[in-house]
Amino acid sequence: MSVFKGAGVAIVTPFKDNGDINYEKFAEIIEDQVTNGTDAIVVMGTTGEAATLTEDEHLAAIKFCVEKVNHRIPVIAGTGSNCTRTAVYLSQEAEKVGVDALLQVTPYYNKTTQAGLIEHFTDVANAVKIPIILYSIKSRTGVNIEPETLAYLVKNVPNIVGVKEASGSLSQVAKILSICPECEVYSGDDDITIPIMSLGGLGVISVVSNVAPRYVHDMCASYLNGDVKTAAKMQLEEEELVSALFCETNPIPVKHAMNLMGMEVGPLRKPLVPMQDNNLVRLKNAMKNFGLLK
């Protein structure tokens, strides 16, 4: 049984003006996601600014999310690190508080080999019992999970079940599913969700879902229910919004968008800084055209 099918949100972490996590607001946005049909919540990923949280904050946010969701939909915790020992520790602690699965990013900066990826991910998987979705995003980490490496891991490590594929390459997705059809593939790029699903992907781990959860859910559900024409139409109709939400480094635009919508998710943590004025105008226009702003 797959971890989830459809639209998973890569949820933001709201902060107070002093930089602390705003748990009252976090509860609100979690509830909004559940109410609007999101199929899974991915907490402490890239969009959640996990890289700038302390380990204590990281684990506290995961625990809070698990308790707030209360088994209504799966909670997937980002517990990856460029240090294998740290990834093992975070994964074990997340398992203790009841997450349904883990998201493991490729170790960044180290630029390990494919053999190193196999050892790293296998060590993490052997330390826990819950499913693991790997996260391949070379643009941020400097290393790609090659299809053959992914296939080896899925076939030989029982609780490594799939991948969040953010290479931007449909050819890579096709290769993965051709040599390892049992791999659960989730799009890591909002702009090619339906193309990836057409190759056998199960859904998306989405940034757009932070501002349009019902829309992304319905788009994925349309495809899963066999209405390919509607799903494709919805994919194309969100293109301007998706482009604007990635015109600067994620999650800069999406947090601005949520604040513009009155969701009050607060500031970014440095080194992320507010949007440039010209890009903010672009974001506002895209949101207006999509119906998120008047």
Active site residues: 135, 164
- Residue in the structure block whose two tokens are 């859910």: 217
Ramachandran class of 252: left when φ > 0, alpha when ψ lies in -120 to 50, beta otherwise:
alpha
CA angle 20, 25, 27 (to 5 degrees): 115
Residues 6+ away with beta carbon under 8 Å from 223 = 194, 197, 198, 231
**For the chain, how big is the Rg over CA atoms in Å?**
18
The separation between CA 195 and the C-alpha centre of its own chain, rounded to angstroms, equals 18
Instruction: Report the residue count for the chain.
Output: 294
Please state, as a whole number, how many other Cβ atoms lie within 10 Å of the Cβ of residue 163. 29
Q: Measured between alpha carbons, how far is 45 from 146 in angstroms, rounded to an integer?
A: 21
Q: How far apart are CA 86 and CA 92, in angstroms?
A: 10
Angle at 48 between CA 158 and CA 9, to 5 degrees: 65
Specify the residue for token string 């050892």. 119
**Which uninterrupted H or E stretch holds 173?**
helix 170-179
Spatial separation of the C-alpha atoms in residues 238 and 166, rounded to whole Å:
18
